[in-house]
Amino acid sequence: MGTRSTPLPGVGTQYDFTTEAGQHISVVVHHDGRRFLGFYRADDPDTCQASVPLTPEEATSLAHLIDPMPLEAIRTDGLDLVTEHIPVSSHSPYTGRLLGDTRARTRTGASIVAVLRRTSAHPSPGPDFRLAAGDTLVAVGTREGVDALAEIIAGG
């Protein structure tokens, strides 16, 4: 059992994984954030039985389902803090607007500590950072604060 990565020039990277049962699974990560899951025959590792294309958002959702130990809460000095990934959809009222327009910390007490964008991460974004559809906000705060922030970003 192990993972092998192979650079695909002009495309991205292919990650191959073989389960203990001998099933060969491949994930191709394109430079633009798209992913493809491939399932291969055990007796012929070059024959793809099925391929499933995933958007970055779908890949994130699938990863959260598979991860057996998600980071749900961090305990600091007796305070319960949570870290959440909040997607910015094309329907969000903040798509195309500045992060400062959300007034996230003032309204919820939660902090946006990073913005993940397709193939790059933007740690500690300032109020002049412009949000885009497909971004994922990394927020830290109380459960109530982070949930309130998710509602705001979704337009609720």
CATH of the domain at 82: 3.30.70.1450
55 & 7 share domain: yes
Rounded to whole angstroms, what are the CA distances from 71 to 62, 88, 132, 136, 140? Answer: 15, 20, 25, 16, 12
Question: In the prediction, which pLDDT does 94 show?
Answer: 96
Q: pLDDT tens digit string along 51-68?
A: 999 887 787 777 777 765
91 & 131 share domain: yes
Question: In the prediction, which pLDDT does 71 show?
Answer: 46
102 & 134 share domain: yes
Question: In the prediction, which pLDDT does 67 show?
Answer: 65
* Contact of 149 with 143, CB cutoff 8 Å: no
Question: In the prediction, which pLDDT does 48 show?
Answer: 85
Residues of the chain scoring pLDDT < 70: 1-2, 45, 67-79
113 & 129 share domain: yes
Residue 116 sits in which domain range? 74-154
Backbone angles phi, psi at 145, to 5 degrees: -65, -45
86 & 14 share domain: no
Helix/strand/coil for 131 = coil
Show which of 16, 48, 66 is a domain's final residue. 66
Number of structural domains in the chain: 2
Show which of 66, 82, 113 is a domain's final residue. 66
Question: In the prediction, which pLDDT does 79 show?
Answer: 57
Closest CA to 10 of 31, 25, 27: 31
Rounded to whole angstroms, what are the CA distances from 57 to 70, 72, 120, 155? Answer: 17, 19, 14, 18
Question: In the prediction, which pLDDT does 61 show?
Answer: 73
Question: In the prediction, which pLDDT does 57 show?
Answer: 74
30 & 94 share domain: no
Report pTM: 0.53
Show which of 17, 37, 66 is a domain's final residue. 66
